[in-house]
């Protein structure tokens, strides 16, 4: 954990370092170029486009925003940048409330996903290799149907004349149907259910690689199962925990469909605000500004998580 531990490199690392200009290095560059290109095409370029729109002004035109660059008299290039959208994000408390609402829902859902997914992943990882695929398939199976269908299935289960309420009424446990749908509870349930596999899979991937003898070693050294889990399994599963949390948290923040279908009227999430800006207000620049800030709000905690994960892993 101390800094000097990182300074001392293992002696074996030296022969592995590539020399400049060697074929291996070219190969490595080619290999890293593919994801870089991917990032450029599917992340950087769209980001720049959206950024550009966020700096324009809304207009009744096709497209419905002003150009940033215009030629005046075909001679002078005039640049028109409008930062008012970003300022407005701070003027109206709605945006802050929506961002915080989204972050809260995403964070709570992520934590629940983690607590539910960890035992599942651990269970699967401890099965015989031949039977693991079966359990993994059970986790993955719902993904082969449309997400919308699965959300509707939950609506069918939760609604006032749905399965849960019918059974409870039949058993005489309740006399009035419980309001399960159109509540924050339903939103959490929908998000946790939908994103659970995104948590299970990375956790499974790290736990599957976990050397069972390490657990035995800790037991041998006097650790009870709980202690063994906390001091060995959990720290070693940390990369999976971080990856799973990112994969659940990030899309959950931007989630639109689940709160729209399962949430109550007062469920306020940033995805809805963005939708309103784009479709109800037809203010593409404002919608873009909301999206850009959402991205920044997301990227910062992800970076923090990543660096934390890397730090506690040492050289990983």
Binding site for other proteins (CB under 8 A): 1-2, 4-5, 8-11, 58, 60-64, 92-94, 97-98, 159-161, 176, 182, 211, 213-214, 216-224, 227, 231-232, 235-236, 260-261, 264-268, 273, 276-284, 312-315
Closest distance between other proteins and the C-beta of residue 221, in Å? 4
Determine whether 279 is exposed, middle or buried from the number of CB atoms within 10 Å of its CB (0-12, 13-18, 19+): exposed
List the structure tokens of 123: 């269970």
Closest distance between other proteins and the C-beta of residue 131, in Å? 16
The residue with tokens 């497209």 is 63
Q: In the complex with other proteins, which residue's Cβ is closer, 231 or 307? A: 231
Closest distance between other proteins and the C-beta of residue 224, in Å? 6
Q: How far, in Å, are 136, 174, 231, 270, 279 from residue 288 at the CA level?
A: 38, 47, 45, 12, 12
Reported residue count of the chain is: 316
Closest distance between other proteins and the C-beta of residue 76, in Å? 26
Q: In the complex with other proteins, which residue's Cβ is closer, 24 or 312? A: 312
Q: In the complex with other proteins, which residue's Cβ is closer, 217 or 300? A: 217
Instruction: Report the alpha-carbon distance of residue 56 to residue 270 in Å, rounded.
Output: 21
Q: How far, in Å, are 73, 97, 122, 134, 149 from residue 127 at the CA level?
A: 74, 45, 9, 10, 31
Q: In the complex with other proteins, which residue's Cβ is closer, 116 or 178? A: 178
Closest distance between other proteins and the C-beta of residue 135, in Å? 22
Instruction: Report the alpha-carbon distance of residue 223 to residue 225 in Å, rounded.
Output: 6
Q: In the complex with other proteins, which residue's Cβ is closer, 82 or 116? A: 82
Instruction: Report the alpha-carbon distance of residue 249 to residue 226 in Å, rounded.
Output: 27
Cβ distance 283 to 58 under 8 Å? Answer: yes
Closest distance between other proteins and the C-beta of residue 110, in Å? 23
Q: In the complex with other proteins, which residue's Cβ is closer, 237 or 248? A: 237
């Amino acid at each position: 954990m101390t800094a000097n531990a990182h300074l001392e490199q293992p002696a074996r690392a030296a022969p592995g370092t590539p020399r400049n200009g060697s074929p291996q290095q070219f190969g490595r560059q080619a290999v890293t170029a593919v994801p870089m290109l991917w990032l450029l095409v599917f992340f950087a370029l769209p980001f720049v486009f959206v950024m550009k729109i966020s700096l324009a002004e809304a207009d009744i035109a096709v497209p419905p925003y002003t150009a940033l660059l215009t030629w005046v008299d075909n001679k002078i290039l005039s640049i028109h940048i409008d930062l008012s959208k970003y300022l407005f994000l701070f003027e109206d408390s709605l945006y802050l409330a929506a961002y915080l609402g989204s972050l809260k829902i995403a964070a709570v859902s992520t934590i629940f996903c983690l607590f539910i997914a960890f035992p599942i992943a651990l269970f699967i990882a401890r099965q015989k290799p031949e039977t693991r695929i079966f359990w993994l398939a059970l986790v993955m199976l719902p993904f082969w149907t449309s997400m919308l269908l699965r959300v509707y299935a939950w609506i069918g289960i939760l609604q006032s004349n749905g399965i849960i309420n019918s059974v409870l009424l039949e058993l005489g446990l309740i006399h009035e149907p419980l309001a399960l749908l159109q509540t924050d509870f339903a939103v959490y349930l929908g998000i946790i259910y939908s994103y659970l596999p995104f948590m299970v899979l990375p956790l499974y991937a790290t736990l599957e690689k976990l050397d069972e003898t390490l657990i035995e070693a800790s037991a041998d050294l006097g650790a009870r199962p709980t202690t063994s889990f906390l001091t060995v399994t959990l720290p070693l599963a940390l990369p999976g925990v971080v990856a799973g949390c990112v994969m659940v948290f990030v899309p959950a923040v931007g989630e639109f469909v689940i709160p729209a279908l399962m949430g109550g009227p007062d469920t306020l999430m940033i995805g809805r605000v963005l939708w309103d800006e784009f479709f109800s207000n037809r203010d593409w620049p404002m919608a873009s500004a909301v999206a850009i800030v959402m991205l920044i709000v997301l990227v910062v905690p992800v970076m923090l998580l990543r660096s934390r994960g890397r730090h506690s892993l040492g050289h990983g």
